[in-house]
Amino acid sequence: MFINRTILILKIMKRTFFIAAVVLFLVSIGFAGFKCGNPEINSSKSGAAESAARNYQTYCAGCHGENLEKFSAKKWMDEKDNSGVEKSIKYGNEQIGMPAFAKTFSDSEIAALASFVKKGIPGDKSLLKPAVIPGGIVESEVQDFVVDTVVTGLDVPWGLAFLPNGDLLISERSGKLYRFANDKLSAPIDGLPDIMAKGQGGLLDLCLHPDYANNGWIYMSYSALNTKSVKATGNTAIMRARLSGNKLIEQQVIFKGKPYTDRGHHFGSKLAFDKNGHLFFGIGDRGQHFDFPQKLDNDNGKIHRINDDGTIPKDNPFVKTKGAMPSIYSYGHRNSQGTCINPLTGELWVSEHGPRGGDELNLVEPGKNYGWPVICYGINYDGTILTERTEKEGMEQPVYYWNPSIAPCGMTFLTDDRYRKWNNNLFIGSLRFEYLERIVLNKHTVMHTEKLLQGIGRVRNVVVSPDGLIYVAIENPGKIVRLIPIESNETKK
């Protein structure tokens, strides 16, 4: 097993050697990710600044932020002129293996790029968050790993689902579905439903039926567009379909959330199957927290449970409650974007966005009220008090909450020995602070947390592949990376 993993690492390192060398050079000046080759920049003085800015946003913002906040602090940042950064770019640094770019870019191209970067660096260097270097070994608290970039050229990748043959289905919030196979991204897959791609809405999560090998069902959540309304309205819906070539066939819309609204936020909605074939998903409060979450006559602000064909399980908690939506499993939720089953216990765990502060990790049980907006550990975005209460009889407390908010999105349990020191840990993405959070649980208690991949970008999703590797979806610019574990003689004990 160790030999196989070593071979895998060597292959990855070989494939990324050239990129890593370029990246390491640029990191020596606090600047990584510049594309090799001649960018064909207009070298005229009038267009130099514009070309440098365009090239930075195109090739560098993904690693170093749109506002240049993800550099390592370097001496050249405090120099009066640009000679230091220009010299580093042009001549490199042989002592640390950094190549020179004197033959790659003209002096005017180097000068324009250096000037753009120098002017854009934040004055407060404590705000800098160095980017993770693809191909470099990352030393976390107990597990070393390599960040391997798998897919690029995306925008806001939302759902990830692996087919049995290893191909990866990727949903884009804009309303596109792709298949990544043989290191290539397919053309958009045909056959999607009418989608209200507005604000936080669009094509959302993906998952396969537990018996996909025999029935071929693919499930997707999306913000369904109400085609009968003059005004653009919609709500979260669930469709299942089969894949034939590059087209969805036999589409069946098995759930539509009600009521439709014109709001463009808080759609939920991650998908998770339990061992009995029940499908769980959340719908957010649709931005109307005083109208929906505490009432059972609507689908918003709830966690739902349905059968694989959209019918309602007979033992759902509110099936016999007059006026209640029968798919409701729990209520009093704000906007859940992490839904997963603990494979060891079968328990349903949900992460959800709070307002300003008060993001929550919840252990969800049938029929229970999770309090939103009556109780909360956050405040309104404008700083005003939302509620004075953080607890109330008959309402559940979160297992854990974040203050300030991390904007949790995507969540998965790791139950595989590929990462020996992370086994049975929970992983959650942070949109706001741009990292992957590792959570150590002891039954229902959070014992420890660790921030991984700090500064890598807004983490939209995290899943575990069939071969046990962690895949992370990052947005704007969108890409998919995976974490390759490395065992060393210095492995933390």
**Catalytic amino acids?**
266
User: Which strand (E) or helix (H) includes residue 23?
Assistant: helix 17-28
CB 173 within 8 A of CB 458: no
What is the residue-wise DSSP string for 59-109?
A: HTHHHH-TTS--PPP-GGGGSSSSHHHHHHHHH-BGGGTBPP-TTTS-HHH
What single-letter DSSP state applies at residue 130?
A: P
What single-letter DSSP state applies at residue 146?
A: E
Q: Which two tokens stand for residue 413?
A: 């349990």
Residue written as tokens 């207009």?
42
CA–CA separation, 354 and 358 (whole Å): 5
Q: Where are the alpha helices (DSSP H) in 161-219?
A: 212-215
Q: What crossing angle do the helices spanning 45-59 and 107-120 adopt, rounded to 10°?
A: 60
CA–CA separation, 282 and 331 (whole Å): 10
Residues 6+ apart with CB under 8 A from 253: 193, 224, 237, 238, 239
CB 155 within 8 A of CB 176: no
Q: Which amino acid is at 147?
A: V
Q: Among 398, 458, 386, which Cα is nearest to 429's?
A: 458
CA–CA separation, 463 and 170 (whole Å): 12
What single-letter DSSP state applies at residue 52?
A: H
What single-letter DSSP state applies at residue 164?
A: T
Q: Among 345, 361, 344, which Cα is nearest to 353's?
A: 361
CA–CA separation, 112 and 257 (whole Å): 52
What is the residue-wise DSSP string for 315-332?
A: T-TTTTSTT--TTEEEE-
Q: Phi first, then psi: what are they for 110, rounded to 5°?
A: -65, -40
Q: Phi first, then psi: what are they for 89, rounded to 5°?
A: -65, -45
Q: Where are the alpha helices (DSSP H) in 218-291?
A: none
Q: Coil, strand, or helix at residue 56?
A: helix
Q: Output the CA angle 341-345-349, nearest 5 degrees.
A: 35
CA–CA separation, 427 and 351 (whole Å): 11
